[in-house]
Amino acid sequence: MAETRDLDSRSVDEILALIHAQDGRAWQAVGRVLPAIAEGVDALTEVLANGGCWYNVGAGTSGRMGALDAAEIPPTFGLDPRRVRAILAGGESALIRAVEDAEDDGEAARTKLMTAGLRDGDAVLAISASGDTPFALSAIEFARESGARHLAITCDPESPLAEGAEIAICPTVGPEVIAGSTRMKGGLAQKMVLHLLSTTVMVKLGYVSGNLMTNLTPNSRKLRERGLRIVMEVLGLDELRARELLDASGGVAARAIERGQLG
């Protein structure tokens, strides 16, 4: 990127301003692909509604973004964690320490998906900023062979991954501030696309009431208190009665609300 070739000679304020401005381009790029994201929402909603599973598959930053989004769906929306899962090149250790050569092992992606039980009626969402990572490409190929839906997020609309996916979401972010460092705009755009997809799918499946997380999993003090506030707000109850309903409903706000509406 021409604007950042003298990055190492700039002041802290100038470096921050440059990175921040480029991050804005990632947001713009995602906005341009909202129609493709909507196609993805429809496909993934159908898969989960019919009992299928959704797999986020990727390597490096892309894989970590997929793992992060999959991990946050169960506590936020109460979905069974087996329904949306992540397949990360290099395994769980790659979440905290880079395993760079793992992205080149396409056969590992096939093996991991086979072991996970990928089948007709499931969906694979392969994530790769460059769109030519063997791990992601093999995942798409195996999904197609298995009869599963096969979607992709990549920053290159002309890449093999984009061409191989039935639905390709391609936010074109342009060159990175640090040349080739797709953990920057590429990773940011992928994170935005992922939370657009997962949040909208969960809304369409009924895991949200209004804008409230009524199906959250109450496995921490913070989430239990949030569930209490949700029950109080939806039913217009005082704290004592809301707690009674929650206690009778296993702490799940959605069940407490249903019980309160019936009684």
Active site residues: 72, 103
Spatial distance between the Cα atoms of 37 and 139, rounded to a whole number of angstroms: 20
First to last CA, the chain: 63
Alpha helices in 58-207 (DSSP H): 60-77, 106-116, 134-146, 160-164, 185-204
109 contacts: CB under 8 Å, gap ≥ 6: 57, 87, 89, 134, 135, 136, 138, 139, 142
Q: Which long-range contacts link 30-39 to residues 24+ away (Cβ below 8 Å)?
A: 30/171, 30/189, 30/192, 30/193, 30/196, 32/171, 32/172, 33/169, 33/170, 33/171, 33/193, 34/196, 36/167, 36/168, 36/169, 36/170, 37/169, 37/193, 37/196, 37/197, 37/200, 39/167
CB atoms within 10 A of CB 155: 26
The CA-atom distances, in angstroms, between 11 and each of 1, 16, 175 are 18, 9, 21
Place of tokens 């657009």: 196
